[in-house]
């Protein structure tokens, strides 16, 4: 399955790590890579990705992750947003506004399972944690 992906403020290391653990089951087609979040809401509307990979800064909290993801989902409600902590230890997968899955102690199997479920037919959405 190929997933159109917008990458935002995510280090090349984490981007490659996510891509490598998901393949071959899920192939990320990076349609655009943005170094910063400025104008991301406008870009997401124009390129209509299936998935947004969003990197957090070291000082950002889980509440800030929620706010950033919900802003993107408001711009494109059908997208999924995977927010990754700056160190890659935690991640949150957001679907329809108000729904998310927490992937703490991020490892390959839970990440694959969550994304597979998020893109399965009738997956509108994964449950809130």
List the CATH number of the domain containing 96. 3.40.50.2300
Task: Read off the pTM.
Answer: 0.83
- In this structure, are residues 64 and 71 in contact, taking their beta carbons and an 8 Å threshold? no
Tell me whether residue 66 is in a domain.
yes
pLDDT above 70: percentage of residues in the chain = 86
Q: What is the pLDDT of residue 123?
A: 45
Tell me whether residue 127 is in a domain.
no
Tell me whether residue 124 is in a domain.
no
Domain that holds residue 74: 2-119
Tell me whether residue 126 is in a domain.
no
Give the separation between CA 57 and CA 99, rounded to whole angstroms: 22
Structural domain count of the chain = 1
Tell me whether residue 52 is in a domain.
yes
Q: Which tokens go with 110?
A: 């839970």
The residue-averaged pLDDT of 108-127 equals 64
Tell me whether residue 128 is in a domain.
no
**CB half-sphere exposure, 22, CA atoms < 13 A:** 23
pLDDT at 5 over 50: yes
Express each pLDDT in 16-50 by its tens digit: 888 888 887 788 899 999 999 888 989 999 999 99
């Amino acid at each position: 399955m190929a997933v159109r992906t917008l990458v935002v403020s995510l280090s090349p290391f984490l981007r490659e790590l996510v891509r490598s653990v998901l393949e071959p089951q899920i192939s990320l087609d990076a349609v655009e890579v943005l170094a910063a979040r400025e104008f991301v809401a406008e870009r997401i509307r124009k390129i209509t990705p299936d998935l947004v990979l969003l990197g957090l800064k070291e000082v950002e909290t889980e509440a800030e992750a929620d706010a950033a993801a919900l802003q993107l989902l408001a711009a494109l409600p059908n997208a999924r947003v995977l927010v990754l902590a700056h160190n890659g230890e935690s991640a949150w997968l957001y679907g329809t506004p108000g729904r998310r899955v927490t992937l703490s102690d991020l490892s390959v199997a839970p990440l694959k399972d969550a994304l597979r479920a998020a893109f399965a037919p009738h997956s509108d959405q994964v449950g809130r944690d």
